[in-house]
Every structure is written in structure tokens, then in C-alpha cells.
Structure 1
Amino acid sequence: MILSFHPRIRGDVNLSLSINALFSEHQADLMADADLTVVPQRIKAHQYRFCRERCKLLFPDYRHRFGFEGKYGNIELFRMFNAPYPRTEAYMSVNAFMERHTREGIPRLGFPFVVKSDTGGGGWGVFLARDKKELQEILKKLADIRRHPTQRFIAQVFVPHGGRDLRVVVIGKSFYTYWRCQPDPQEFRNNVGRGAFIEHDLDSDLIYKGVSCVRAFCERTGIDLAAFDLLFDRSGPDPEPLLSEINFLFGRKGVGGSDSFIAHVKEAVDQLAQTL
């Protein structure tokens, strides 16, 4: 029996999932009886934990989503599984940064380097520190608890990506790729919301490397629904992929829009169902 809490994925039994709501005893019994339970991307951490304790098989697999939230959590996950990523320093707060570097000086990354707040999307909360003055301005912004409630952030070596990054979307056992290309040489962020455009048919050799990297990471972590952003250092002749971020909630334009995305999710659920 397939139980679905997803509004657009039909199962043998279909239920709705309210934001922050608890599950009823009847719903818990259905989870225990189901061979496969499907949940939406916007499920909350406490809801997912409840499902994990009761379900035989759960899609998506978010064991390594909750507990590793934000860009800070991404780095913890990359380190845990020895994945390739840009050289990074992680901080619990601006105060932690100041305490560490009062003793050690500025991060050993060297200017320019990228500073990323823990939360935010579309390039929000991502800054380029070119010198000490810019770094101090960035730290003042990150210290604003109203705008940056977790207070955590990372500093990451600037990768000369040539105005492109590769997004690899995993849905079940399938991988979908596209490049985000930034035409503005003054803008280091390759987000579509920052003026980047999508291209699919570029650098097939780098796409192959990127997919291989993400596939290996997913095999180790169980992640089966997420968008990975990868950087390539274009200063060398044969760049290797570096994992930049994992997005469990992501835009769907690059995979053909919402209808196409849902079709891919349905296909992934069908493939899982065939293994039961």
C-alpha cells in the first residue's frame, strides 16, 4: 500500500499534511501499514521524524536534511562524508568570528572571499569581501539578528567560476542538469534572480564530472530529492567539481517547470513502488 501526503502524488491512500500539525493516531497506523509513504518537500522536521519512526519506506529521504539545515549545515555534511567543496571556515556567530580572528587575524582564505549567511536563497545574504573594509561592513549586516536569526555563517574561498555554476537536480535515481550563466561581469552570484540565464547544452565533460560527484554523494547519504550547486575553478585546464550548496527547496524552471518536476517525482515514486 502506498500512502501519500503529497497533494499532487496519488497513492492508494491520500491524506493532507498541514503545516506544523501533529499526526492523528489513525494516520500513524496508516504509516505503519504502508509499504511506501510519500511526503511533500515542505514537511517540517518534527513531522518527518514522526514519519521516520513509523514508516517502512519514505520518499523523499531527508535523513541528512534535518539536522544539517542552512549553509553552515551543508558544510558539516560535506565534511562528514568527505565530499569535495571549496575551502571554507564556519562560524557560529559574528562574535565567534571576532574571537577566533582576534587571535589568528583574518581568515586564511585570502581576499577576495565569499561570505554566506546561514539562511536565504536567490543570492540573498551572499557577499564578496574584497578587503578588510568590505569585510567589516558584511559582519555588521550578519550581526543583525532580525535578518540573520541563526547567526551562523560561512566564509569560503572565491572560486573563479567564469560566470557559471552547474546545478544538478536529483529526483529518485535520475539526475537533471543545467548551467546558470551570469552575463554581468560585475556580479559574482550566478542566481537566476540576479540576472543569470539557464543553459543546458554547455561543457558536457564538466556535466559528466558534476553528475558523477553528486551521484557518489547521494549514494552515501541517501539523498534522493535535492538540487546541488557545483562550482568549477576555471583558472585551470581540467577543473574538478566542488559542491557549493544543497537546496532541498528549489526553483523548478531549470527542470522544465512545475508540471515537469511533478512528472519526474511521480516517475521516481513509481520506480520505488516497483521495488516493493
Structure 2
Amino acid sequence: MILSFHPCIDADKQIIMGERSADNEIQQIIQKSSAVILPQGCSAGLYSMCRSHCPHVFPNYDKRFQYPGKMGQARLFAVMGVPIPRTMVWRDVGSFKEHKKIKKNPPHSFPFIIKTDQGHEGDGVFLVRDEDTLASV
């Protein structure tokens, strides 16, 4: 049996999780499946359960959960040797501003981008053109 958690991909059995968490009933269905198709918004818990109890899981989100967030993506690209723009990691905007205050200037010239670790489709991405926009971030 092929099990699909994806809302747009039909299979022998289809389960739309919504906001609920995977429970024992879901685990039993996964264990009976020969393959599982995951949704795009797959939680770490559902993915772990599927990988633990079914031999064929699509897509493979191993790297997504091993390297979460934008900082994780930057680490993954470095590990894989993928060229990316110079990336500096700060605990938060406050620590960046503190570094700037101590050093008397930003660690790079304007303009630059600040991204939060989480977010998608442009959420948490800020173009910093000058001191005024930096102060508003």
C-alpha cells in the first residue's frame, strides 16, 4: 500500500494531517505501507516516524532536518562546497548591532541583507541600505 500525506497526490490511502500530530494510529498505517509520500510542510515528528517505520519515503528530507533554518542551509552549502555569498551568523540583530558599536562600523559595507533563521518566501528578510534602515531592523 502507498500512503500519501500530500494533499495533491492521491495514493491507496491518503491522510491530511493539518495541525494534528502523528499518533499510534498513524504509526500503524505507516508500518503497513510499502511507500510514503510526504507533504511539503512535513513536521520533524512525522518525518522521523515515516523514516523509522517505512522503507520508502519520498521526498527525502534528511538534510532539511539535519540542517534546519537559514543558518543550517549556509552550513550545508559550506559542507557540500556550494558557493554562496559571504555569510555571517549572528545570534540576533542586537548582537550584530553590539559588534558594530564596539568596532565602530559594520563588518561589511552597505547595502547588505539581514535574514532571520526561520521564515520562508521572503519572510524575515531585510535589505539594509544604510544606517537608518539598520536602526529600524
Secondary structure at 1:89 match in 2: coil
List 4+ stretches of structure 1 deviating above 6 A. none
C-alpha contact 2:112 2:129 (8 A) present in aligned 1: yes
Secondary structure at 1:115 match in 2: strand
Q: Which runs of 5+ in 2 are unaligned?
A: none
State the partner residue of 1:238.
none
State the partner residue of 2:46.
47
Which string of whole-angstrom CA distances, capped at 9 and with x for unpartnered residues, describes residues 207-242 of structure 1? Answer: xxxxxxxxxxxxxxxxxxxxxxxxxxxxxxxxxxxx
Q: Which runs of 5+ in 1 are unaligned?
A: 139-276
Bigger relative contact order (CA 8 A; separation at least 6): 1
The number of residues matched between the two structures is: 137
C-alpha contact 1:3 1:37 (8 A) present in aligned 2: yes
Alignment partner of 1:111 is 2:110? yes
Secondary structure at 2:114 match in 1: strand
For 1:5, the aligned partner's letter is F
Which string of whole-angstrom CA distances, capped at 9 and with x for unpartnered residues, describes residues 2-32 of structure 1? Answer: 222223322233333242322224x323323
C-alpha contact 2:3 2:12 (8 A) present in aligned 1: yes
CA displacement at 1:116 relative to structure 2:
2.0
Structure with the bigger percentage of strand: 1
Secondary structure at 1:127 match in 2: strand
For 1:23, the aligned partner's letter is D
Pairing of 1:67-146 with structure 2 (within 5 A): 67-138=66-137
State the partner residue of 2:37.
38
C-alpha contact 1:20 1:47 (8 A) present in aligned 2: no
Structure with the bigger percentage of helix: 2
RMSD of equivalent CA atoms: 2.5
CA displacement at 1:104 relative to structure 2:
4.1
Secondary structure at 1:74 match in 2: helix
When structure 1 is superposed on structure 2, of 3-12 and 40-49 the one drifting more is 3-12
